[in-house]
Amino acid sequence: MKYLADTHVFLWWMADPEQLSKAVTETLFRQPGEVAFSAVSGWEIAVKSSIGKLGGVPIDRLEEELSAQGWRGLSFTLRYLPTLASLPFHHHDPFDRALVAQAIDEDLTILTRDSKIARYDVRTRW
């Protein structure tokens, strides 16, 4: 794995790919096997769907969709907690902070449009 997709990248890839930058789109087309989807993003999608912030996201088919795209699932384990706890509060969204910790520990580039994530010591691509 080389890349970690932010939650919005997956959502746009599935529903509105025109929202994605050319660089991200090329990465997803040319290197799908090197793109990871974090369990944290799955959790974020489930939470936001349950409170009505996301409509039409196929929660029950999420794993199938990821597999069909060639993306790899990435579990969030306790080993990321020291990095997560040490992060400065550039971003207050717990989902995004967890993705940053994973990317740092796994040496991944985050595919994201979120400028707050870029404030961390982590590679990003947009």
Q: What is the CATH number of the domain that holds 90?
A: 3.40.50.1010
Helix residue spans in the chain (DSSP H): 7-15, 22-30, 39-50, 62-69, 81-86, 94-106
> What pLDDT score was predicted for residue 102?
98
Mean pLDDT of the chain: 94
Number of domains in the chain: 1
Handedness of CA 80, 70, 126, 46 (dihedral sign): negative
How does pLDDT run across 54-71, given as a tens digit for each residue?
877 778 888 888 888 899
> What pLDDT score was predicted for residue 126?
96
How does pLDDT run across 70-90, given as a tens digit for each residue?
999 999 999 999 999 999 999
Percent share of the chain, pLDDT over 70: 99
Domain that holds residue 108: 3-125
For the beta sheet containing 109-111, the strands, ordered from the edge strand earlier in sequence to the opposite edge, are: 72-74, 35-38, 3-5, 109-111, 124-125
Structure-token pair, residue 10? 């997956």
How does pLDDT run across 9-20, given as a tens digit for each residue?
999 998 899 999
